[in-house]
Amino acid sequence: MVDGVLPLQPAAGTNADFIRSWGHMRTSIFGMGYVGCVSAACLATESHRVIGVDISEQKVRMLGEGRSPVEEEALPEMIRQAVARGHLTATGDAHRAILDTELSLIAVGTPSGADGSLELGFLKNVVREIASALRDKTSPHVVVVRSTVPPGTTERILMPILLEGSGRTLNRDLFVCYNPEFLREGSSVKDFFAPPFTILGTEDEQTFTRVARLYHGVKGEILRCSIQAAESMKTLCNVFHALKIAFANEAASVLHGSGCNPMEAVELFLKDDKLNISRAYLKPGFAFGGSCLPKDVNALVALGKAHGVVTPLLASINASNDSHLDRALALVEKQGVRKIALLGISFKSGTDDLRESPALRLAARLTAKGYDLRIFDPIVCMHNLVGANLTHVARVMPDLENYLDYDLDRVLDHGELWVIAHASPQIRKHLLARTHKAPVVDLVGTSIQDATYFSYQGLCWMPTP
Ligand SMILES: NC(=O)c1ccc[n+]([C@@H]2O[C@H](COP(=O)([O-])OP(=O)(O)OC[C@H]3O[C@@H](n4cnc5c(N)ncnc54)[C@H](O)[C@@H]3O)[C@@H](O)[C@H]2O)c1
């Protein structure tokens, strides 16, 4: 049953029993390193028939003898048993492996190149080998890329090599999927069977179905997405893990250096799953501002300095935020118009706090460059501003009052470009209701779903199709 066209499967998020009922798959795995060996052993344990392929003769020989080339808990015994049962074999013959299997996982290394970008040489070599072997085979074949790659690699680099080299047609007799790997060395076998989820990057229904069969023994949801989203999210995961570790280490070092016990503070910090360990503050949007964030970042960096603790990550946070503001200014300037309607001026919607407001900084920079600006904000009223709020405005944009207009329609009529700086339902609703519309630069993501109504530019995202 393995080479025929399979029935369509339910939507993303499935791990259904009927996938299990299709039985084992003949799978070749290219690259018998940590990812490849663990995948090979786990899939063979799940009764799939696995051929491990590697250019290292030593690894192939060890696997042939039922020995694991890498050390991971439970792995040696799993490999010994899989080889003894005949569910796992190893070879250096890529051509033979392709002819004898219906699906290939690619798990070769993608090490850092001299400039920090990922080195794709191993990957391209394997893909060329697979493409060439496919010329000598008639049945359909599925290629699943598991190596970590820069976003865009599968579609822009690997697929063209595969299609040209094999002479096959995508989604007819050749199926390609990007399937990120989430295992961690040290707990890789457990992670293989219980990942956070399984992500299959493919827009093709049949490809999804074919690859999903492989994971019938794996817990959790199977999610389907575009190939680029699957590639991108893997990179985001690893970078975010690195960022979290560096943050925890730098922050704790500052506290420790200043004579406080970081562990107690960190335990409390971790208890907050509303704002700290949560989705909060992780969606792309405009720069941060307000009376607390920029100030307290500076304060922690200063505390570190006072105690001789170097904090390159913490010290770069406000600089990163400034770059985001520069990006917003550049995007507005790129539109090539002079009359601008800026919607929202306080540091976020729902408040009249202008302290460290990125919208206020943007407005000041636009007027300094001679743009003809009108500003609408549903809450900010110059006559009500007092204390530190007023002092801040006086410092950053003393003539703010000249640009504020309390009539939203008048501001919109003025603008050849509408710049949205507040994710305010009121503003969004108003924009949608208007018959005459100007191009939009969206700094906060409020109009993404309405992008078709506008000539639309997102600050660092594309409009939703
Ligand atoms: N190690 C991890 O914890 C982990 C986790 C998730 C993702 N990844 C990613 O998975 C990929 C593999 O990582 P790894 O740590 O298993 O790599 P590794 O370096 O341990 O193993 C790679 C293997 O590929 C083999 N190889 C190279 N060219 C080949 C070819 N033409 N044909 C067959 N085999 C070939 C090498 O001989 C080696 O045995 C990388 O992209 C990595 O970033 C790794």
DSSP bridge partners of 419: 342, 441
30 three-class SS: strand
- Asked whether 382 and 346 are in contact (CB, 8 A), the reply is no
Q: Given ligand 1 and candidates 29, 30, 32, 34, which is best to mutate, with the most ligand atoms within 8 Å of its CB?
A: 34
294 three-class SS: helix
For the domain covering 321-458, report its CATH number. Answer: 3.40.50.720
User: Residue 70 C-alpha to ligand 1 middle, in angstroms?
Assistant: 12
User: Residue 56 C-alpha to ligand 1 middle, in angstroms?
Assistant: 12
- Structure confidence by residue, pLDDT tens digits, 244-263: 999 999 999 999 999 999 99
Is any atom of ligand 1 closer than 6 Å to the C-beta of 443?
Answer: no
Is any atom of ligand 1 closer than 6 Å to the C-beta of 110?
Answer: yes
Q: Given ligand 1 and candidates 28, 29, 30, 35, which is best to mutate, with the most ligand atoms within 8 Å of its CB?
A: 35
Give domain limits for the chain: 17-225, 230-274, 321-458
Q: Residue 123: in which H helix or E strand, if any?
A: helix 121-134
Q: What is the pTM of this model?
A: 0.91
- Tell me the HSE value of 73 on the side-chain side, using a 13 A CA sphere: 10
- Structure confidence by residue, pLDDT tens digits, 110-168: 999 999 999 999 999 999 999 999 999 999 999 999 999 999 999 999 999 999 999 99
Name the band, by pLDDT with cuts 50, 70 and 90, for residue 45. very high
Pairing type for strands 440-442 and 417-420 reads: parallel
Is any atom of ligand 1 closer than 6 Å to the C-beta of 153?
Answer: no
DSSP bridge partners of 201: 178, 225
- Asked whether 231 and 152 are in contact (CB, 8 A), the reply is yes
Active-site residue flag, 292: yes
**Overall CATH class of domain 17-225:** alpha beta
In this chain, the answer to whether the domains covering 17-225 and 321-458 adopt an identical fold is yes
* Res. 10: pLDDT tops 80: no
Question: Which residues, other chains included, contact 441 with Cβ-Cβ below 8 Å and sequence gap of 6+?
Answer: 328, 331, 332, 335, 417, 418, 419, 420, 457, 459
Name the band, by pLDDT with cuts 50, 70 and 90, for residue 452. low
DSSP calls for 217-274: TS-S-EEEE-HHHHHHHHHHHHHHHHHHHHHHHHHHHHHHHTT--HHHHHHHHHH-TT
Catalytic position from the list 42, 237, 260, 292: 292
User: Residue 203 C-alpha to ligand 1 middle, in angstroms?
Assistant: 26
